[in-house]
Structure 1
């Protein structure tokens, strides 16, 4: 079932938050059940740089709908044309459908040989034994921690075992409307880099009747903006062992208050609709938008407005950028086909070694030397995002984490819409999330 023509959803970059950690992902296998063939994971005796075994066909599942799916389809076609003894058949689903189908398919023995997931999905799927540890595959590919940013490398690890092989990083950046900057007398080649510069730009824009920084009350992009600010103000989403939500800290309240003050002081409309902040940017009504890398390809092709791209400004004292990562995983299968394991390792190695091609879909290669290559640096618009990678934070590697995160997104929504003050909204949400974490500990172990 190929759905490459389904329009790209911005919210698809994390996947269906509830589906990953909740009932949708678990309905097929429930509780702590063990699907067929539950073992320690595959072995991979080959080096991963070649496959010399018999002809095999690999089923490859992912949620890359839209433009990124088109690039993946091109890469798979290229791989198939170059590799005579391995054929990859790619099926693409909406992320919510992906997480509905995967557990049932694995349990029935009809799961794919290779799949792609986001970092925040991996722990839940690992806890449910839908995917298997792949340390042997990572070792056969000679993956080296020094080749990745720390957060990227650690992102594929759950309970001290590697379940994911990093492909890319996708994160927030600053999108700004150069036409509006010029209208307000601002230098269109010098976007704000800190709080003072940001507020100065907003005041100049406001003097020209422009509400310059629209604040979204939704997860995309308000919830992602809030997380970035939380880290910039020195806060954390959870305590060290992820047993308690801590976003109601002083730093967390300061971060959300800064966002709500943008609304109160007239720098943003009071009720911004879903994606309206981004649409307004393109229509020269919003000047500054904390937006995801997945929009780069569109804005660089706009003819109606000139959109600049930059690193997020540091509103706080620290670097902090929301991000996520696609990673290859191996679903559990009935029995163990060593040829398929080694062919899968070869495909994973081939794909990740060609990450500069994949980056054209709007991603930063996970391997740092690839992000520094001329193939990548020549791609228009992506350099600010690559520079941010050292400051990127990922969700913690805890099963069911998306359930707890939903409470935080609800708090951001309530505060930005003026239904609650930031401190009360965050406190209530943190208490709810902490209860969810306790429940999930019992559910997943």
Structure 2
């Protein structure tokens, strides 16, 4: 409705009605006068609000831009431009309706006032999570004096905000690798005579005598060996589940946020090592390859266009994994999914005979990391599901820990 009563107005209307009933029952003139004054005040407020509505309907509201590209978690300014040929009443507010998967910094509204012929610009800030965010409705409203009634006009101003995973995810993986192995790239420990030095350690039975570091042995008084490895070339195929169940949870902490960061970090490491990585997307029903993802920048663009998919079909997800494996044979397959999946049944369907032509199939179960009771419940259920299947091939939890565990396994199978 363009003009309506506020909560205060409805309270006054209720009080006036009660006073009128009391005046009719008791004949008290004071109650009758108070009820008439209340109804008169409401009538004047409604008339004034209609005049306000006329001014608001003549104002032209537009967005500064209808398409915004950003990085997850970064502050993005959403700006409006209000042109008021006949001016705006005092206390006019422009209010937007951003979706739930963006964090609004402050309030999604701004106070605007303008003289006739004036132009006003207003803005607020949001911090988006991974994927595409669309919204359109903008409301311009103003309250009558006394705040008994409000007049509002709604405008349809579509905006598309696409947020890519932050490249800091890759840097975090490098730092964790450096802390664990002393080297910021994946290395293969199967090559004991590799050229990448990792650490000095005490000699163990079975070590190659050529690895003994004699200066350190002389200082320590016991045999010390140099542990080395060969820098490995990673090759992988990633199936990213973007079905509706992946979008639960709060912004920046939902399973799809973790899955996108993990996908970007692993694929980027593969490309940097001189290997190859292919990414397949599953939207709940259909499966398709992200052919435009050839490097870190292009993959970030693909992930920024993710949209909330349909409800997950576990059979469809298993078929997508088998399809990806057949199209990219002889590569390790990483299936990135989230809560709500029957993991034991999924593993059985993916690996049933005839087995996909891949040396290794890994499963990453992303969980929401928010603190709400619902998110904690979902997280506990997903972890129990992963423990029931067990084995090194299944990892669960946040994206950073999962990526390190996956890399440890991939190093064994990398050529």
TM-score by length of 2: 0.23
Greater helix share, structure number: 1
Greater strand share, structure number: 2
Bigger Rg, structure 1 or 2:
2
Higher relative contact order (CA 8 A, sep 6+): 1
